[in-house]
Amino acid sequence: MSISEYKYDPKDFEGIPSMSDDLMAFYRALEAYKSEKNSSNGFDLQDKIENIELSIKRCTLNGDLNTSFANELNDYIRGLLKDD
């Protein structure tokens, strides 16, 4: 799946510190894990999940994201993980 096929495009978050980069890194790690399910890719994916979850939380606390949207984004990310 290419980045443009995901529901949330990292480019839409470019004005929010770290969100764009963390979302892009999560998508790349997810794709790497889907293509080769090994422990290295699994650890990298787990790291990227933690990073994007922290970014979402930080952006919500800073007022860059509203709580409803943050919950929706978290649910979407968790849903992508269930697809494996």
pLDDT of 1 strictly over 90:
no
The string of pLDDT tens digits covering residues 6-24 is 999 999 999 998 999 999 9
The string of pLDDT tens digits covering residues 22-58 is 999 999 999 999 999 999 999 999 999 999 999 999 9
Helix axes 67-82, 19-35, angle to 10 degrees: 10
Q: Are 3 and 24 in contact (CB under 8 A)?
A: yes
The overall pTM is greater than 0.85:
yes
Rounded CA-CA distance 60/34 in Å is 29
Task: Kindly report each contact of residues 14-18 with a partner whose C-beta sits within 8 Å and lies 24 or more positions away, as own/partner.
Answer: 16/59, 16/64, 16/65, 17/59, 17/64, 18/55, 18/58
